[in-house]
A and B are shown apart, each in its own frame.
Chain A
Amino acid sequence: AQKITQTQPGMFVQEKEAVTLDCTYDTSDPSYGLFWYKQPSSGEMIFLIYQGSYDQQNATEGRYSLNFQKARKSANLVISASQLGDSAMYFCAMREGGNQFYFGTGTSLTVIP
């Protein structure tokens, strides 16, 4: 079974609007971390936001927030007030204990002016 599932291969959003990128995960480990990364066309993966499995509140970093629904095993990324520079691939990832990381297949976001 896939550890990380991103069901949206491509998304479009109007500039200044908000967009939600979906991510579901699969683990039986009670302790895990969830991450979102942005990968522009240049190739570098940029760390955006982190949510720990024991965190009571949803993580926020500037215009990024993570909608963590533990019972549903979902960790959706919300980008508010989209900017043209937000156009990129977005990857959801999970870490279970140790050093094992799992990544999803990514969602390509295009911001329309």
Chain B
Amino acid sequence: ETGVTQTPRHLVMGMTNKKSLKCEQHLGHNAMYWYKQSAKKPLELMFVYNFKEQTENNSVPSRFSPECPNSSHLFLHLHTLQPEDSALYLCASSQERWEGQGQYFGAGTRLSVL
């Protein structure tokens, strides 16, 4: 079992659909993150949760709605997306105290918005 699991791995949706991405971590970490990775752009941090509380929201449009019911699970709810939202969405987790440790990432969800 990998440390951080994301489902689904691939998702195709229309602009009027509603879907959710799921992330689960089995590492006992306290912090979880959503990133967007677009071609030829730096990884963009979207949301951060620390002990289930959202601590960062980097000006992400409201059509992306995160949910963190506990320290092991993180969701990203999607509705009325735009074609430019097509990207690889990566989930990560880390300890609250990060010295010496990086984030652990899932394999990502490849999203295509038609």
Would A105 and B42 be within 8 Å (CB), given that A33-B99, A43-B88, A98-B55 are in contact?
yes
Would A45 and B88 be within 8 Å (CB), given that A99-B56, A101-B45, A101-B103 are in contact?
no
List A contacts of B21 (CB < 8 A): none
| Chain B positions 68 through 98: 1 when the CB is less than 8 Å from some CB of chain A, otherwise 0 | 0000000000000000000010101000001
In the bound assembly, the distance between CA atoms of A43 and B88 in angstroms comes to 8
List A contacts of B100 (CB < 8 A): 50, 52
- Kindly report which residue of chain B lies nearest to residue A105, judged by CB atoms: B42
Q: Is the CB of A103 within 8 A of B43?
A: yes
Q: Is the CB of A45 within 8 A of B92?
A: yes
Would A103 and B42 be within 8 Å (CB), given that A43-B108, A95-B98 are in contact?
yes
Bin the interface of chain B by size.
20 to 34
Number of interface residues of A (CB under 8 A): 26
In the bound assembly, the distance between CA atoms of A42 and B105 in angstroms comes to 12
B110 at the interface (CB under 8 A from A): yes
- In chain A, residues 73-101, which have Cβ atoms closer than 8 Å to a Cβ of chain B? 91, 93, 95, 98-101
- Kindly report which residue of chain A lies nearest to residue B94, judged by CB atoms: A99
| Chain A positions 33 through 48: 1 when the CB is less than 8 Å from some CB of chain B, otherwise 0 | 1010100001111111
B42, B90, B92 interface centre (most CB from chain A within 10 Å): B42
- Cβ of B32 to closest chain A Cβ, rounded Å: 10
List B contacts of A52 (CB < 8 A): 99-100
Q: Is the CB of A100 within 8 A of B56?
A: yes
Q: Is the CB of A99 within 8 A of B42?
A: no
A35, A44, A98, A102 interface centre (most CB from chain B within 10 Å): A44
Would A50 and B102 be within 8 Å (CB), given that A103-B43, A105-B41 are in contact?
yes
A4, A48, A98, A104 interface centre (most CB from chain B within 10 Å): A98
B64 at the interface (CB under 8 A from A): no
Q: Is the CB of B43 within 8 A of A91?
A: yes
List A contacts of B105 (CB < 8 A): 37, 44-47
- Cβ of B31 to closest chain A Cβ, rounded Å: 6
